[in-house]
Amino acid sequence: MSFDLTFECVLDLRCEVAESPVYDERRDCLFFVDIGRGMLHRAELSGTNQVEWNLEGGACSLGLAQSGRLVLAQRDRVVLFDPESGAIVRQVAAVEPERPDTRLNDGKVGPDGAFWAGTMHEVAADRRPIASLYRVTPAGAVERKIDNIVCSNGLAWSADGAVLFHSDSRGPWIDRWQFDPATGELSGRQRLVDLDEATGRPDGAATDVDGHYWSAGVSAGVLNCFSPDGRLIKAHPLPVPAPTMPCFAGADRKTLFVPSLRPTDSGEESRAGGIFAARSPVAGAVVHRFDDRRL
């Protein structure tokens, strides 16, 4: 599977760190965050009717919920946010509130209906493997699933829910696990690929219906497409230096949206920090929803 993608800027927001795009098929819109400014954004796929919320406590990653609300990772807690009222309606769980040197980072809803979110060591001068990946249930239970991570990232599940992909942006590596969609249990860890700055440190990710793993190469300005066994099929270039996470969207799930971060030395003409889109010949895997129906 080799093809070219042509990315165009659909939202020139110049975010500090645009991240965690999620397509809501019920509303036919895109939600994403700007981690640097602690903001949650909503926009139509055309880039119009853009709405934003400035959230006390920050915004690091998000997922959809069964009720129509959003499950949102803030710095050290997971909450439910209602986009209709524009308010956080309840806290689901606290995650590492005692650790001032870590914060929540990449997060997604799994096939098990739980919210999976990892932390990162936030001290840039002394990054150490003290972060973890957590499973947060609708009942508020918090379970550490993987530890010894510097910057947890790259969460994505295969279309059948039987495989979890996960990365460490500072490893930098990507692993794959056998995943039980009924219980959320992990087993059979395998190293998918080791990476470097030139190939692209693995940031956020997504999967398609054919089992490929799409990883934003944040250090190389590319979207890397890997086969299920870790072979790099193609590195798709973007017109900005630091893409952060892909998301398949639209009724056919064949439009790839990729946000980006804006380096401090970006020129006025640069669209870094914007949202980019391209049509894909393959559809993305279905996104799961947090089971908040009793909350």
The annotation places the binding site for a divalent metal cation at 19, 153, 203
The catalytic residue among 106, 168, 203, 292 is: 203
DSSP assignments along the chain, one per residue: -------EEEE----SBEEEEEEETTTTEEEEEETTTTEEEEEETTS-S-EEEE-TT---EEEEETTS-EEEE-SSEEEEEETTTTEEEEEEEE-STT-TTEEEEEEEE-TTSPEEEEEEE--GGG--S-EEEEEE-TT--EEEEEEEESBEEEEEE-TTS-EEEEEETTTTEEEEEEE-TTT--EEEEEEEEE--TTT--EEEEEEBTTS-EEEEETTTTEEEEE-TTS-EEEEEE-SSS-B---EEETTTT-EEEEEBB--TT--TT--TTSEEEEE-SSPBPPPPEE--TT-
Cis peptide before 172 (omega within 30 of 0): yes
Which candidate, 101, 153, 108, 95, places its Cα nearest to that of 130? 101
Q: Quick one: tokens of 21? A: 């795009």
Rounded Cα–Cα distance for residues 102 and 152 (Å) = 11
Annotated binding site: 19, 103, 105, 153, 203
203 belongs to the catalytic site: yes
Which candidate, 158, 94, 172, places its Cα nearest to that of 287? 158
| Residues with catalytic roles | 203
